[in-house]
Amino acid sequence: MYLANEKRYQGMIYNRCGQSGLKLPLLSLGLWHNFGACSSFDNMRNMCITAFDEGITHFDLANNYGPYFGSAEENFGRILNQELRSYRDELVISTKAGYDMWDGPYGSWGSRKHLIASLEQSLKRMNCDYVDIFYHHRMDKTTPLEETMDALAYIVKSGKALYIGISNYDKEYTKKAAELLNERKCPCIVNQRRYSIFDRTIEEDGVKEYAHQNGIGIVAFSPLAQGLLTDKYLNGIPESSRIARDPRFLKPSSLTEKKLFQIRQLNEIARKRGQTLAQMSLAWILKDDEICSALIGASAPCQIRENLEIINNHSFSEEELRKIDEISKEIQ
């Protein structure tokens, strides 16, 4: 029988998510990769246990994480039942709907029918009565935004989710969604967006500033640019890497000689800081209070522990920030 580490809350930092009462750990565990049907269940279990023992309380999923679609939720549900059930009130479980999940006209996007049906399926897969955060996973400009927000507010009022979030929403849609949810007495507490040294779209499109000024938390996903901002590719593409195994999300063409030159320059800055490139890249995401949590992925428990070493070292000198900006903007 699993007993959690009694000191699990001593080392973690918890940030308030927007203006809500919910606090998220500085680092959260994302189950996008390595939790599907093709992965080792024992390894998944060990990663979740390691994360929780280190104070990571937030586990982030989506209906179609796999492969196959839904398998990450199924596997997390098994781990929850076998190991973490007695700690459910200490966990923040989030899931999402909006990308392709099942065949036909109701299997994706932002209709009331899709969102409510998808959450019901997710709860069954995870054997949960509710999730803590339910996200609409992407903007849908073919469905009235009022319908989508009505569905999300209904989900909270039904008790199937405690909080509502949005994901991949630009500034215009973030603003509209927040206003509609406020009218429905169901505030939007978080926007989950891609953010890394190499991808600063949330700064360029104004979402980061708008969210911070209007009490909406930002959770950053892909903070390591799906592995580019690690030491994995410093000497080329290893056979075990994501690019080699599953190029759907990260293609070999992403790792040009110019990009590799950038990565090596950034790695040198990290080395001088006494950090790995992954640690520095996570620290860069969390350098100010505009990001409440960064989602880390992992393929082994040791990666989680390594990432956690940045908890007390995520500040930068002005010169370090200048050099990182200079390097990352050289080649895009």
The CATH number assigned to the domain holding 190 equals: 3.20.20.100
**What three-state secondary structure class fits 20?**
coil
pLDDT band at 237 (very low <50, low <70, confident <90, very high): confident
In a domain, 246, yes or no: no
Domain holding 41, by residue range, is 14-227+282-312
In this predicted model, what pLDDT tens digit does every residue of 67-120 receive, in sequence order? 999 999 999 999 999 999 999 999 999 999 999 999 999 999 999 999 999 999
Question: What's the pTM?
Answer: 0.95
Residue 276 CA to residue 284 CA, distance in Å, equals: 12
Residue 58, in any domain of the structure: yes
> Could you tell me the pLDDT band of residue 246, with boundaries at 50, 70 and 90?
low
Count how many domains the chain has: 1
Would you say residue 174 lies in a domain?
A: yes
pLDDT digits (tens, 9 = 90+) for 10-69: 999 999 999 999 999 999 999 999 999 999 999 999 999 999 999 999 999 999 999 999
Is residue 322 assigned to a domain?
A: no
Torsion angle (degrees, nearest 10) of CA 142, 143, 144, 146:
-150
Residue 29 belongs to a domain: yes
Structure tokens at 277: 């490139």
Q: What percentage of the chain reaches a pLDDT higher than 90? A: 89
3-class secondary-structure state, position 209 = helix
Residues 6 or more apart from 232 whose CB is under 8 A from it?
238, 241
pLDDT digit string, tens, across residues 155-175: 999 999 999 999 999 999 999
Asked if residue 296 belongs to a domain, the reply is yes
| First-last CA distance in the chain | 49
**Residue 3 located in a structural domain:** no
Residue 190 in any domain: the answer is yes
